[in-house]
Amino acid sequence: MNVTVENLAPCKKLVRVELDVTAVDSAFDAIAKDYQKQAALPGFRPGKAPRDMVIKKYDAEIKDEAKRKLIGDAYRKAIDEQKISVVGYPDIEEVQFGRGQSLQFTATIETAPEFQLPEYKGLPATFETKSVTDADVERALDLLRGQHASYNTVARPLANGDIAVVNYSGTCDGKAITELAPTAKGLTEQKNFWVETTEGKFIPGFAAQLIGANAGDKRTVNVDFPADFVTKELQGKKGVYEVELVEVKEKVLPPIDDELAKKYDADNLERFRAVVRVDLERELKQTRSNALRSQVVKELLSKVNFDLPESAVAHETRNVVYDLVRQNTQRGIARELIEQQKDEIYSVAAVNAKERVKLAFLVGRIAEQEKIQASQEDVLKRAQQLAAMYQTPFEQFIKDLQKRNGVNELYEQVLHEKVLELLEKNAIITESAPAK
């Protein structure tokens, strides 16, 4: 077998392969012999038909099978001999093939990037020295009791902290908001809509202009849509709302006591406080770990530059776009609005994808250097965690994973996690006082 390799571009090669006529004819003969053993032609018992008749009847099938076998075997052997690390699938083009001829084909392939692995131990990172305080616990308890608040209708003017139940219709530049932003139906008109009067809820400045109003009152509310408002067409514009206050509801919080603790499966308030503290400490530890990993990854990426395979970047860009669209959909952003922002989404995704692909190659090399492996037990544990996260029965999760050939992804995730643990463990950490 004769193999030549030509560099077409960074991470792209053209491999030319030629097999001599003897190898080609041997493959034809072996496959024809297999067909002869199984062929059932009229007038002959199975396996007893003459070879030339079998070849004549199954010529196309024999030729296709010989081509697949010869090209597949020769391609794999050529890649192994040349020690080429292939990314993705080859683009194979037949040049010459047939009985009595040498086989010639080319394979255009993308390859893993070549780079010198930078120093990955001792990467710098900083974090604020923080601990969970009694005040943190009390704030958490206050948030938790808010989940069990009751809302009583009251016959008094609307005050800060109340809920305003309103009917409203909005315009912008003298037109119904839907004329400017067709997907923003909820911002144009609502009936019996609940608006919290605390700062930062709904449209900035909306609720504050209703303070002091009584049920049945009508007011004109002027708002300035922020420059980063979720509805792009309204960013930086002024809106006018005609608002009717239907009801005033007072938010009543339950006391922080043993009864509240029992609603969260704690025996008493003392035990509840202890559980909340443990949860906050676990959250703080995870936040610190995430921050450290983010810093060491950024530092590692800055230490080396290399070309990336185009197909790997394109594939990862599609993954990032999918994630961004899914996140926006979960946040309640309309499909139409997501479609309008597709260019911006794709631009952000392309940048993130390049960093992800670059990090994946670095992680792979570090894992190889440190002899880090993902065991079957590790992957099984990861699958169980994901199944629980997505609230899917474990057996069904595994079936779905196998259906989309996603098992390798889990191995990569586990390997990625182990390498990041190594980077975090070996980072040089500087502690700083909490910002005031």
In sign, the C-alpha dihedral spanning 145, 151, 156, 162 is positive
Sheet of 2-9, strand order: 2-9, 12-19, 103-111, 86-96
Q: What is the DSSP letter of 114?
A: P
The phi and psi torsions of 295 (rounded to 5 degrees) equal: -70, -45
Among the listed residues 348, 357, 346, the one whose alpha carbon sits nearest the alpha carbon of residue 301? 357
Domains, the chain, ordered by start: 2-111 (3.30.70.1050), 150-252 (3.10.50.40), 281-432 (1.10.3120.10)
Question: Got the DSSP string for 68-93?
Answer: HHHHHHHHHHHHHHHT--EEEEEEEE
| Segments in 303-341 forming alpha helices (H) | 310-330, 335-340
Q: In the block, which residue shows the tokens 């010639």?
A: 104
pLDDT higher than threshold 70 for residue 334:
no
Average pLDDT, stretch 203-224? 95
Distances (CA, A) of 160 to 5, 50, 194, 214: 74, 97, 14, 13
Give CA–CA dist 364/371, Å, rounded: 10
> For the segment 257-305, what is each residue's pLDDT rounded down to a tens digit?
999 999 999 999 999 999 999 999 999 999 999 999 999 999 999 999 9
Asked if residues 423 and 362 have their Cβ atoms less than 8 Å apart, the reply is no
* Degrees, nearest 5: CA angle 183-185-186: 120
Give CA–CA dist 132/179, Å, rounded: 50
* Degrees, nearest 5: CA angle 392-393-398: 90
The confidence score (pLDDT) of residue 400 equals 85
pLDDT higher than threshold 70 for residue 416:
yes
When pLDDT is cut at 50, 70 and 90, the band that residue 219 belongs to is: very high
SS3 labels along 269-285:
HHHHHHHHHHHHHHHHH
In sign, the C-alpha dihedral spanning 163, 168, 174, 178 is positive
Pairing type for strands 12-19 and 2-9 reads antiparallel
> For the segment 103-154, what is each residue's pLDDT rounded down to a tens digit?
999 999 999 999 999 999 999 999 888 899 999 999 999 999 999 999 999 9
Asked if residues 108 and 8 have their Cβ atoms less than 8 Å apart, the reply is yes
> Which of 83-92, 180-189, 403-412, 426-435 tops mean pLDDT?
83-92
Identify how many contiguous H helices and E strands the chain contains and give both numbers: 14, 12
Question: Got the DSSP string for 244-271?
Answer: EEEEEEEEEPPPSSHHHHHHTT-SSHHH
Q: What residues pair up with 241 in beta bridges, in sequence order?
A: 170, 221
- Model confidence, pTM: 0.75
pLDDT higher than threshold 80 for residue 183:
no
Asked if residues 212 and 157 have their Cβ atoms less than 8 Å apart, the reply is yes
401: phi > 0 → left, psi -120 to 50 → alpha, else beta; which? alpha
pLDDT higher than threshold 80 for residue 176:
yes
Amino acid at 24: V
Give the 3-state secondary structure of residue 107.
Answer: strand
Round the average pLDDT of the chain to a whole number and report it: 91
Among the listed residues 233, 237, 223, 243, the one whose alpha carbon sits nearest the alpha carbon of residue 334? 233
Give CA–CA dist 305/209, Å, rounded: 54
Is the model more confident about 370 or about 351? 370
pLDDT higher than threshold 70 for residue 208:
yes
Q: In the block, which residue shows the tokens 């965690």?
A: 385
pLDDT higher than threshold 90 for residue 68:
yes
The confidence score (pLDDT) of residue 36 equals 86
Structure tokens at 126: 């900083």
Give the 3-state secondary structure of residue 247.
Answer: strand
The residue length of the chain stands at 436
> For the segment 391-410, what is each residue's pLDDT rounded down to a tens digit?
889 888 888 888 877 888 89
When pLDDT is cut at 50, 70 and 90, the band that residue 248 belongs to is: very high
Tally Cβ neighbours within 10 Å of residue 292: 20
The confidence score (pLDDT) of residue 40 equals 78
